[in-house]
Amino acid sequence: MTIDELDARLIALLRDEPRLGLMEASRRLDVARGTVQARLAKLEASGVVRGHGPEIDPARLGYHVLAFVFLQIAQGRLTEAVAVLDSTAEVLEATATSGPSDLLCRIVARDTEHLQEIVNRLLSNNAIRRSTSYIALSQPIPYRTAPLVAKAPQA
């Protein structure tokens, strides 16, 4: 799906102020409320806008360690491995990858000892054969989509 300049402005506005109402958004964008409502519905239906929930900072909840963990999965046991990951609250996301590892997981932990406990728990399931962990030291560029959205209308 492509977005136009109005879609990009609407997304930016809601990203900056997720609790903003449709009337106020329409006023700031200088378009009718129905236009904002229709555009937002279109963006949600297409999956471009996936949510309006608050962003959570795991460190503020006591999870000060962020790690990226590559997992190698036993042949034919991906579904079982994903179930184990899904039942582990500290696993924030898992992405299938090409190369020597099968999954890349973003995992948070209270400290490095807690991270070791999480990894050991994952490895105790025979569906997960091996892990390689990388601890994040800092995040010079946090997850972002704003530059992509800003560039999209030009595409």
User: What is this structure's pTM?
Assistant: 0.85
Token pair for 91: 């696993």
**Domain locations in the chain as residue ranges:** 5-54, 58-135
pLDDT exceeds cutoff 60 at 155: no
Q: Which two tokens stand for residue 100?
A: 């020597």
At residue 61, what are phi and psi to the nearest 5 degrees?
A: -95, 5
| Residue of 87 and 153 predicted with greater confidence | 87
User: According to the model, what pLDDT value does residue 154 have?
Assistant: 65
Confidence class for position 151, pLDDT limits 50, 70, 90: confident
CATH class of 58-135: alpha beta
Cβ atoms of residues 47 and 32 within 8 Å: no
Q: What is the mean pLDDT of residues 89-100?
A: 97
Count Cβ atoms within 10 A of the Cβ of residue 102 and give its class: 0-12 exposed, 13-18 middle, 19 or more buried: buried
| Cα 108–Cα 109–Cα 114 angle in degrees, nearest 5 | 145
- As assigned by CATH, the class of the 5-54 domain is mainly alpha
pLDDT per residue over 45-91, tens digit each? 999 999 887 889 999 999 999 999 999 999 999 999 999 999 999 99
* Residue showing tokens 């992509």: 148
Looking at every residue in the chain, the average pLDDT score rounds to 95
Residue 4's contacts (CB-CB under 8 Å, 6 or more residues apart) are 153
